[in-house]
Amino acid sequence: METGCCPPFQPEPWDEKTITWENKKFLKDKVFCLFYMPIGFGRTMKRMMQKVQAASAECPDYVCLSDHTSKWNMDVYLAVDRDIPDTEMHTISGQFLSKVYEGPFRETAKWCDDFAEYARSQSAQIEKQYMWYTTCPKCAKVYGKNYVVILGKR
């Protein structure tokens, strides 16, 4: 069942894998946070998707990375298949350790601790970590699963 909003997420290709990206294109935006809690994330996503649609671009795999740069800001990176005019674009390259979690967002600290242990078990030194919230809260409720992927750049 599709919601018309977020596509269903398939965890298998992302769980305990190493993902390699070479100059993967991302549209970059920001979300204001209040003690790490995003405020207006949905508005940011709508704004980004409008820019993608206006450029007749696509979002491969609907990858959208979040990077909490402080307790007041979160940078958001939406994967796109081409440059989007009049936007801030960013490319990301490297190998990323990837692990999927499922459950309520209040488990995030536990997931981060588990991911750190997983990285150690893989002898991986993580230099940068991103969160991928694969569905919005409404779609997660419809699908019955709230998957979150942690990606750590090796």
Please report the DSSP string for 83-139 in residue order. --TTSEEEEEEEEEEEEEEES-GGGHHHHHHHHHHHHHHTT---SEEEEEE-S-HHH
Q: What is the pLDDT of residue 1?
A: 74
134, 113 Cβ separation under 8 angstroms: no
Interval 30-52 mean pLDDT: 94
Residue 92: pLDDT over 90:
yes
Percentage of the chain with pLDDT > 70?
Answer: 100
Residue 2: pLDDT over 90:
no
Q: In a 3-state reduction of DSSP, which class is residue 5?
A: coil
pLDDT category at 72 given cuts 50, 70, 90 is very high
Q: What are phi and psi of 110, to 5 degrees?
A: -65, -40
Whole-number Å distance between alpha carbons of 74 and 30: 6
Q: In one letter, which amino acid is 29?
A: D
Whole-number Å distance between alpha carbons of 141 and 3: 11
pLDDT category at 5 given cuts 50, 70, 90 is confident
Compute CA distances 29 → 46, 105, 124, whole Å: 11, 21, 29
Interval 71-90 mean pLDDT: 97
- The domain ranges of the chain are 17-153
pLDDT category at 4 given cuts 50, 70, 90 is confident
Whole-prediction pTM:
0.94
- Say if domain 17-153 classifies as CATH 3.20.20.210: no
